[in-house]
Amino acid sequence: AIPDVHRNRTRLVIKREVSHMHFSDFKLHPQLARAITRAGYEAPTPIQVKAIPPALTGKDLIGIAQTGTGKTAAFVLPILDRLLRAPEKLGKSHALIIAPTRELAEQIHTTVREFAEGSRIRSATIYGGVGMNPQEKALREGVEILVVCPGRLRDHIEQGTAVLKGIEVLVLDEADRMFDMGFLPSVRRIIERLPRGRQTLLFSATFAPELQSLADQVTRRPERVDAGMGVVKTIAHALYPVPQSLKTGLLTHFLKTYMPYSVLVFTRTKHRANRVFTQLTKSGFTAGVLHSNKSQNQRQRALDDFRAGKLQVLVA
């Protein structure tokens, strides 16, 4: 039987750390300030309060922040402010944002487009699993902001289709995940092609010694800001140690008993993800599956359907 750890869930109140600042305190470009208001943003999050001011001054930055803390806006807003104040720079690739996964790259790209709406600033994504031609076109035309995964950009560099000598801002997002996924050699190869005088913003949820070595190599007198682990305080945790053979039965029982609206299930392997997906579908749940053996279109469709509520369970 599952312990009734959810019996008090109706009384659970999730509190976010609220800033006393307002986005107007950053003195952002008026067009950007209007985009922030249009997007419904109110008070900045702690990582935005700590990271945006030094980023606006052109300083290198190391930001410790988890997913869900608003860190994407913490580097996107300073980049856009810089471009809006120097329209003569439009027409060439100015900022390079490196992310570990295609999904994160698309999320960043969406944020850029949201804040850049109404301006002439363009953004493009470059990652594997899709055709090279549109990416080559974006690189050739000098799209102002490039959001990339390291493997595919390295391919473009080796084929001579990526010229990065005009990059003035480099962002390494979720650097710890790039290390875990084995991307640091590709990242270092890319950085070798960038101007030395650029601004570098490095964000990571954790900061292992290996990342300190990378930060020492790619940043110059960086300011370090830490948003802490606040996002975890908004989540209730429960742990059920069970034998492997009972895992799927427990998951199915949990879903049928508590009927959660939206569930994300992580598995250790792609094969296991497929098996769990099949078993949940047979049990009557609307489920999707997400892993690297799926095409980019299949992955994006699964995410879109999960976000839209068409899927109750996403197995990844």
C-beta of residue 217 within 8 angstroms of C-beta of residue 185 = no
pLDDT at 288: 95
**Segment 123-134 mean pLDDT:** 92
pLDDT at 11: 34
59-75: pLDDT as tens digits: 999 999 887 788 999 99
Nearest to 86 by CA among 78, 76, 97: 78
Q: Does the pLDDT value for residue 6 go beyond 80?
A: no
Two tokens at 114? Answer: 């949201």
pLDDT at 81: 97
| Cα–Cα distance for residue pair 79/119, rounded to 1 Å | 13
% of the chain at pLDDT higher than 90 = 67
Q: Length of the chain in residues, anyone?
A: 316
29 pLDDT band, cuts 50/70/90, is: very high
- Residue 162: how many other CB atoms lie within 10 Å: 24
More confident site: 60 or 163 = 60
**Segment 90-113 mean pLDDT:** 94
Q: Does the pLDDT value for residue 264 go beyond 90?
A: yes
More confident site: 58 or 307 = 58
pLDDT at 231: 46
Query: Packing angle between helix 71-84 and helix 46-56, nearest 10 degrees?
Result: 30
Q: Which helix (H) or strand (E) holds 170?
A: strand 169-172
Return the CA Rg of the chain: 21
275-303: pLDDT as tens digits: 999 999 999 999 999 998 888 889 889 98
Burial class (CB in 10 A: 0-12, 13-18, 19+), 90: middle
199-214: pLDDT as tens digits: 999 999 888 787 888 8
Nearest to 202 by CA among 179, 185, 181: 179
| Cα–Cα distance for residue pair 22/48, rounded to 1 Å | 11
**Amino acid sitting at position 23:** F
Q: Does the pLDDT value for residue 263 go beyond 90?
A: yes
